[in-house]
Amino acid sequence: MIMKGDLERMAEEFGHPGGGLKTMLDAMEVPSHARHLLLQLNTQRTKGFLCDVIIVVQNALFRAHKNILAASSLYLKSLVVHDNLINLDHEMVSPGVFRVILDYIYTGRLSEGDPTSPTEPNIGAVLAAASYLQLLDLVALCKKKLKRTGKYHLRPTAGFLPYSKIGPSGVVGGRLRVSTPVIQPCFPSGVMGGHTPRGPQLDELQPHPLLPHHAGELFAPVSTQGPQPYTPTQAALPPQTGLRLASNDRICSPIYGLDLSKKSPGSQSQQHLSHHDEEPEGELSHRTSPMLSPRESAGKMEAMHRAGSLTPHSFPLLNPPLASHHPHLQRSNSQGQEPYPCPPSPEPSEEPGERGREVPSIYRWVKNEPMPYNVEDEDEDEDEEDSGGTAEQDKEVHHHKNGEEKLNLSEGGYGRGMNCDGEDENGTGSEETGSSEGRPSPPGARGRYHMPYEPESFGDNLYVCIPCDKGFPSSEQLNAHVETHAEEELNPGGELDSSNSNSTGKPANTNGPASLNNTGSLHSPFLESKSGQNLHPMGIGEMIRPYRCSSCEKSYKDPATLRQHEKTHWLTRPYPCSICGKKFTQRGTMTRHMRSHLGLKPFACDACGMRFTRQYRLTEHMRIHSGEKPYECQVCGGKFAQQRNLISHMKMHSSGGAGTGIGADGKLKIDFCESIYPLSKYAAEHLGLKQEKASELLAQASQHLLADAKAIESLYPLSKLTAEHLGLTHDKMDVLPLPPIPQSLPAEARTIDRYSPS
């Protein structure tokens, strides 16, 4: 355990202001205070509580507290000061060794482990790593232990040798065995259920690296000898992590680090260097490991940084050829505007040799290295995905809740879909990733006019008008065609909402003219869009929004927004998640997505402690406690805390979104909006009415509807229960006022389905 003496030494070591600390510690009235404090910290680490930094070592992630790391090592201090995610060179520190080191930092105990175990880091490796990390106390401790066993020799050895340069036996120089445990599962099955083990008690802080108190590891190598205990941190991981969560499994998916700091995930190496540069020479020198001079140490690190990464140079095969011929990328790269910090989507590979491929991605991502990202990469991804998708992986992928099955390895859906994400392929760009499962959504479900993502579907006519499904060989021709839709919209006699091309930024909803795209907004579909902006693609809006997308009808106030929007049309989304490979058009979305991978939820509810990844969610959640339900159904008066639930509710009112017209069962259904606002031309025609007449009729109905609950029931299926509640029999209900049914409708269509459950 780190005890008072250690703290004193730390205080001196790092020159904390206030030399009075030693005095303070001497005068500590509760001798167990330091011990208790450290215990608490370690407990917190095991639970991931208040952990504010993630350390990536090869493909293992560790959670920890910046303060603790900073207090332990100047080097770590320099790393954590600006970044929430730290990458350690796995050539210098293996995951297993770092786990031991982290344990030491938090407990003051050094786990020697079983020197004969292939998975146990030994003291030599720890010494080397401690020296690299400038954990001077640990260095001294290791030396002491080695000397005790007669193994210590003053020479830089294995610890500074890349693992790749260490023989398969792990023995270097016949002495130091640096074990790099194969990444193993750390999530027993069923752990997601919420079982929360207690944190290690004081006496449980045993010097064993494989004990369950490594919960701070998000994904850490563990012993192959058995399933590892569940940890709350792991439980906090959403099932979408793309990681295997079952017991006795290996983590088959790549594990990446990410920077969730507010700033862009870049230039970490520069920061590191700068920190070193800032570090006074003397300050560095006096804590340099005896195994490596400060210059050597710093120089080596610097050399590694210069190499463009902390590691990739040792993995020459890990960086695929990076020819760039993607036009967007070329442009972006050449102009330096849009660096692609993220690697091509990695894909789990069964081949052990492939595993290393993941590593550079981590560093590249974190270091924000502009990464030529191109179609070849994409193809490679697809190849990997296609080839690497084993049944096991398939199972894993499909195990994930809703979202990440979008990877859809088994169906090659990722290959086709991930980069396009299904909806991308059909050009909607409005991701329905949660349900598309990597398959392209049916054309026309939602969409833009351009549909360049699945060219094979349309032969030479790559540009497809979603509403009418016509293909065009060029965007110009498509645009010309689209204009006809626009004219139809502008023309009062034209079909309403045929394209729903608007400037609101929301994708056109082609579910039908009376579909629910506006129901939630409580606005007439043809009065205005949700944003209250002109629906028409041309007109005054053009002056307000002069920056028009060349691929669709949207326009924006400023070029940056336009650029942002244009990415939605790109064949390749520029920001892939380095954990699951899902790609995003906006970096912020990707970062947000990453938070969900790591279970980072910065917004906590004061009332119940529940945590959220977004402020908005917390705000929404707080309404549960306050009882506030600001969203009210204009039809039935039901109130909701969440707007989205009101929208869902509205869909219920509108018979599942079928809208006005003849439902699938052939019976008349009245759309919610239509019940309040004038009937659309489409609906009117559908009903065999002139629009004016239909609107008049519906207006009458709306009056009833809004005025009388009975009338409301008259427009919507009335349950027997409700009828009885109203003191009506089903027979009586027939007398409720209803808009006349046009005789032009087929007889069956004229039957308003009042009684059947919707």
Taking the C-alpha atoms of residue 211 and residue 343, their distance in angstroms, rounded to an integer, is 34
Q: What residues have CB less than 8 Å from 239, skipping those under 6 apart?
A: 192, 245, 399, 400, 401, 404
413 closest CA partner among 430, 396, 394, 427: 394
- Specify whether the CB–CB gap between 221 and 183 falls below 8 A: yes
| Least distance (Å) between residue 132 CB and DNA | 29
CA angle 105, 613, 184 (to 5 degrees): 50
The beta-carbon contacts of 25-28 under 8 Å, at least 24 apart in sequence, are 28/4
517 near DNA, judged by CB under 7 A = yes
266 near DNA, judged by CB under 7 A = yes
Q: What residues have CB less than 8 Å from 223, skipping those under 6 apart?
A: 119, 181, 184, 210
| Least distance (Å) between residue 80 CB and DNA | 17
Q: Return the residue of 88, 284, 516, 687 that touches DNA, per CB under 7 A.
A: 516
742 near DNA, judged by CB under 7 A = no
- Specify whether the CB–CB gap between 684 and 693 falls below 8 A: yes
556 near DNA, judged by CB under 7 A = yes
| Least distance (Å) between residue 408 CB and DNA | 13
677 closest CA partner among 653, 701, 647: 701
Q: Return the residue of 47, 554, 669, 686 that touches DNA, per CB under 7 A.
A: 554
740 near DNA, judged by CB under 7 A = no
- Judged by beta carbon, residue 68 or residue 580, the one nearer DNA is 580
Q: Return the residue of 184, 585, 660, 691 that touches DNA, per CB under 7 A.
A: 585
Q: What residues have CB less than 8 Å from 478, skipping those under 6 apart?
A: 449, 450, 463, 464, 465, 472
- Judged by beta carbon, residue 137 or residue 381, the one nearer DNA is 381
- Judged by beta carbon, residue 505 or residue 742, the one nearer DNA is 505
Q: Return the residue of 561, 700, 722, 751 that touches DNA, per CB under 7 A.
A: 561
What is the residue-wise DSSP string for 391-439? HHHHHHHHHS-TTGGGS-TTTTHIIIIITTTTTTTTT--S--HHHHTTS
SS3 594: helix
| Least distance (Å) between residue 464 CB and DNA | 16
320 near DNA, judged by CB under 7 A = no
Taking the C-alpha atoms of residue 23 and residue 360, their distance in angstroms, rounded to an integer, is 47
Instruction: Extract the tokens encoding 330.
Output: 């070329």
Return the range that interacts with DNA (CB under 7 A); candidates 7-15, 118-126, 511-519, 747-755.
Answer: 511-519
- Judged by beta carbon, residue 498 or residue 509, the one nearer DNA is 509
CA angle 263, 264, 268 (to 5 degrees): 95
Return the range that interacts with DNA (CB under 7 A); candidates 225-233, 279-287, 488-496, 578-586.
Answer: 578-586
| Least distance (Å) between residue 3 CB and DNA | 39
Taking the C-alpha atoms of residue 712 and residue 722, their distance in angstroms, rounded to an integer, is 11
528: Cα separation from own chain's centroid: 33
- Judged by beta carbon, residue 139 or residue 635, the one nearer DNA is 635
- Judged by beta carbon, residue 180 or residue 613, the one nearer DNA is 613
586 near DNA, judged by CB under 7 A = yes
| Least distance (Å) between residue 551 CB and DNA | 11
Q: Which residues from 86-125 bind DNA, rule CB under 7 A?
A: none
| Least distance (Å) between residue 367 CB and DNA | 13
174 near DNA, judged by CB under 7 A = no
757 near DNA, judged by CB under 7 A = yes
- Specify whether the CB–CB gap between 409 and 398 falls below 8 A: no
CB neighbourhood size of 559 (10 A): 11
560 near DNA, judged by CB under 7 A = yes
| Least distance (Å) between residue 627 CB and DNA | 9
Taking the C-alpha atoms of residue 543 and residue 162, their distance in angstroms, rounded to an integer, is 60
Taking the C-alpha atoms of residue 256 and residue 361, their distance in angstroms, rounded to an integer, is 7
| Least distance (Å) between residue 119 CB and DNA | 31
CA distances from 103 to 65, 187, 217, 478, 644 (A): 12, 20, 11, 63, 45
Q: Which residues from 457-486 bind DNA, rule CB under 7 A?
A: none
Instruction: Lay out the site mask for DNA across 642-681 (x = CB under 7 A, - = otherwise).
Output: xxxx-xxx--x---x-------------------------
CA angle 595, 599, 602 (to 5 degrees): 75
Q: Which residues from 490-509 bind DNA, rule CB under 7 A?
A: 504-507, 509
Q: Return the residue of 32, 196, 201, 264 that touches DNA, per CB under 7 A.
A: 264
Q: Which residues from 596-635 bind DNA, rule CB under 7 A?
A: 596, 610, 612-617, 619-621, 623-624
Q: Return the residue of 520, 659, 661, 739 that touches DNA, per CB under 7 A.
A: 520
Q: Return the residue of 387, 457, 589, 700 that touches DNA, per CB under 7 A.
A: 589
Return the range that interacts with DNA (CB under 7 A); candidates 342-350, 481-489, 549-557, 694-702.
Answer: 549-557
Return the range that interacts with DNA (CB under 7 A); candidates 127-135, 199-207, 579-587, 684-692.
Answer: 579-587
- Judged by beta carbon, residue 587 or residue 693, the one nearer DNA is 587
Return the range that interacts with DNA (CB under 7 A); candidates 172-180, 313-321, 409-417, 518-526.
Answer: 518-526
- Specify whether the CB–CB gap between 255 and 358 falls below 8 A: yes
Site size with DNA, rule: CB under 7 A: 78
- Judged by beta carbon, residue 356 or residue 467, the one nearer DNA is 467
N- to C-terminal Cα separation, the chain: 67
Q: Which residues from 408-437 bind DNA, rule CB under 7 A?
A: 421, 429-435
Cross-strand partners of 177? 171
Q: Which residues from 226-255 bind DNA, rule CB under 7 A?
A: 238, 240
